[in-house]
Homo-oligomer: A and B are copies of this chain.
Amino acid sequence: MRLTRAGEYAIRCIMYLSYKGKGKLVSKKEIAAKCAIPTHFLSKIAQELQKAKILEIKQGPRGGFVLTKDPSELTLLEVIEAIIGEIYLNDCIARPEMCEASNICAVHKVWQKARRELRNILNSVTFDKLVKDPKCIPNFDKEI
């Protein structure tokens, strides 16, 4: 019951792109180095983020990734769900056909509430705020 590594990487990647600014092209190599993400794995993650219209991938020399959304309008929830899919906390909510009475079941009402709260919290945080505060990868501004 935890965020996958891919999800964590996606957050770091978008943190770095947000720090660089919307529309700024940054090479995959630079992002991978700054954010400690295996380069090939970063490709897969970027593909998903591109599908979600969060960034654009530019090929060729001087290629890389470009953030297409303004950090002030991009939330943690959007980035996370672009990678791991919509968050559900238990199976009955995700696959109601598994369970005869999920919409009236007392247990699952609790899970629904928990899910709603979790998604609200993650959706209330935008990347422009996050990059201003101290972060786990603190040396974005150091030269490589």
Q: Which of B84, B102, B136 contacts A1 (CB under 8 A)?
A: B84
Q: Which A83-129 residues sit within 8 Å CB-CB of chain B?
A: 84, 87-92, 94, 99-102, 104-108, 110-111, 113-114, 117-118, 121-122, 125, 129
A135: nearest chain-B partner, CB-CB: B105
The reply on A2 being an interface residue by CB < 8 A is yes
Q: Which of B3, B125, B133 contacts A91 (CB under 8 A)?
A: B3
A114 and B121 form a contact (CB under 8 A): yes
Copies of this protein chain in the complex: 2
Q: Complex: how many Å from CA A125 to CA B109?
A: 11
| Shortest CB distance A115–B (Å) | 9
The reply on A30 being an interface residue by CB < 8 A is no
Q: Name the B residues within 8 Å of A5 (CB-CB).
A: 91
- Also in contact, A108 and B89, with CB within 8 A (given A1-B2, A117-B117, A122-B114): no
The reply on A134 being an interface residue by CB < 8 A is yes
